[in-house]
Structure 1
C-alpha cells in the first residue's frame, strides 16, 4: 500500500518575519509580490533562526488542523524533521499529540533547506547563508528556547541519523556531495528523501522541511509558512497530491506548480566556485 506523505513547511521564523501575507483567492501572485516588496527585506544573516511569536501562533493553528484531520488514523505513523531549529520547533509544537503517543521526531539532514538567497553570483556559495545552515548537534541541547520551552536534548528527538559532516555544506567533499547547492546535488537529495520514505514501514509520514527544498527538490509545489500538502507515494517515487490540499491543508498556499530544479544553479566546477568567491 502506498504511504501517505504530509509535507509541511516550518512556521514563520526570524529570517522571514516579513512573510505575513498568505495567499488570497482574489489577489494575484504578482500583486502580492508587489505588496510584500514594500516590507523590510528578509534577514538571512541570522544563524539557524528560531520561530517568531507569529510562527508560534501558526503552529497552534497547524496543530489543531492536523489533529482534526489525522488523530483518528489507526496505522503506523512517523514524524521526520530537518534538524534546523525552526523545523524542530514546528514539529514539536504541531505534533505533540503524536509525541505523547510515543512517536519520536526523527531528524534527517536530507530535509534541510537549500536556498542561498544570493542571486548575483552564479554559484550561490553553495547555500552557506547563516539562516540556511544548521547548528552543530553538540550545541542544540544548549540552545535555550524562550518561546517553546522545548529542550532539544529531550528523548522525543532522535538525531542518530545525522551524518558527521553536519552542518557543513561547502567544505568537506562529502558535505558538498550530499548537500551542495547545484541542480544535480539538490535533485539527487530530493530523490534520496523519497527513496528513504518509500522504504519506511509506516503508513502515514509527517515531514517538516523548508519551502525552497520542498518546491525545487521534492514536490514541485509552493508552500506558505506552516502549511502542508498531502501526497501518496507511488512506484517510481511519484508523488500524487491529495486535491483537497491544492491550496494547502491550511488554505494558505498558492495553487501553483513549480519545476523541479528550476531555481537551482547549473552544476559548476570547483575552479568556478573559487573564482566566484574571489
Structure 2
C-alpha cells in the first residue's frame, strides 16, 4: 500500500524577507517550533513516519531538523533528494555545492542526491531541473511515483512553495505549511492557508529562458 505523504514547506528564511540569503531567521525558527507542536501529535496513531525527505537546500534541511528533530532522534532517517528542490534559477533557489553539505548537516543522508545537483542549466540538468513547465511538472510526477513505491506507512517531505504548488499539488503553501488529506487540516495544517488551487504547471514557461506569466524567466530577469 502506498504511504501517506505529509508535505511541508520550509519555514520563513531570509530570502523571503530581503531576497538574499536563504537561511531560517527568528520568525522561521518560531514557525518551526509551532509546526513541531501542531503536526506530530496530529498524525494518526496507526501511521508511523518512517522517512523524512528534504530538498538539499539549507532552508529545508534546517526546517526539518528544527521541527522534526524528535523523530530524527527516535531513528527516523532523513534523506536529501534533489527532486524536491525549488524551481527558479534565481541565486536564492540554487543550492550549495553538494560536497559542502555533509559536514554542515551530519544527520542527513546525502548519498542519494543526484550528482547533477545544484546544476539547473546544463543540457543534462535543465531537462530535469530546469525552469520550464515540462521539467517541473515532470519532476513532480517523478518524485510522486517514487513515493508511491515506498514501503513506509508515512513519509514526511520538506520542500518549497513554488515546486509544491505548480509541480506537485496545485495548492498554495505558506511558510511551514503542510498539506494532507485529513479533513481537519484541509484549510492549512497550521491554519495559515485557504483552499485555493491552481493547475499543475500554472504560470510556468514552456521552455527554459522564456518569459513566465509573471514577466520573468525564473532567473530574476524581467
Fold-level similarity (TM above 0.5): yes
In 2, distance between residues paired with 1:98 and 1:141? Answer: 20
Q: Measured at CA, do residues 99 and 73 of structure 1 come closer, stay the same or move farther in structure 2, by a change above 3 Å? A: farther
Q: Does residue 1:212 correspond to 2:173, yes or no?
A: no
Say which is worse superposed, 185-194 or 252-261, in terms of deviation: 252-261
Q: Does residue 1:104 correspond to 2:104, yes or no?
A: no
Per-residue deviation, 1:76: 5.4
Match of 1:90 in 2: 63
Per-residue deviation, 1:228: 0.3
In 1, distance between residues paired with 2:175 and 2:130? Answer: 24
**Structure 1 stretches of 5 or more lacking a match?**
18-41, 115-126, 143-150, 231-240
Match of 2:131 in 1: 181
Residues 98-139 of structure 1 deviation map (CA, whole Å, 9 limit, x = unaligned): 11111121100000000xxxxxxxxxxxx2211100001222
Match of 1:166 in 2: 117
TM-score (norm 1): 0.72
Maintained 8 Å contact 1:181/1:265: yes
**1:1-278 alignment to 2 at 5 Å?**
1-17=1-17, 42-43=18-19, 46-47=20-21, 49-70=22-43, 72-73=45-46, 75=48, 77-114=50-87, 127-141=88-102, 151-152=104-105, 154=106, 156-170=107-121, 172-230=122-180, 241-267=181-207
In 2, distance between residues paired with 1:133 and 1:269? Answer: 16
Larger radius of gyration between Structure 1 and Structure 2: 1
In 1, distance between residues paired with 2:63 and 2:199? Answer: 26
Per-residue deviation, 1:269: 8.1
Residues 72-112 of structure 1 deviation map (CA, whole Å, 9 limit, x = unaligned): 45535110000000000011111111111111211000000
In 1, distance between residues paired with 2:40 and 2:200? Answer: 30
**Structure 2 stretches of 5 or more lacking a match?**
211-216
In 2, distance between residues paired with 1:16 and 1:68? Answer: 28
TM-score (norm 2): 0.89
How many pairs are equivalent?
212
In 2, distance between residues paired with 1:140 and 1:86? Answer: 12
RMSD (CA atoms): 2.0
Maintained 8 Å contact 2:85/2:159: yes
Q: Measured at CA, do residues 177 and 159 of structure 1 come closer, stay the same or move farther in structure 2, by a change above 3 Å? A: same
In 2, distance between residues paired with 1:242 and 1:174? Answer: 39
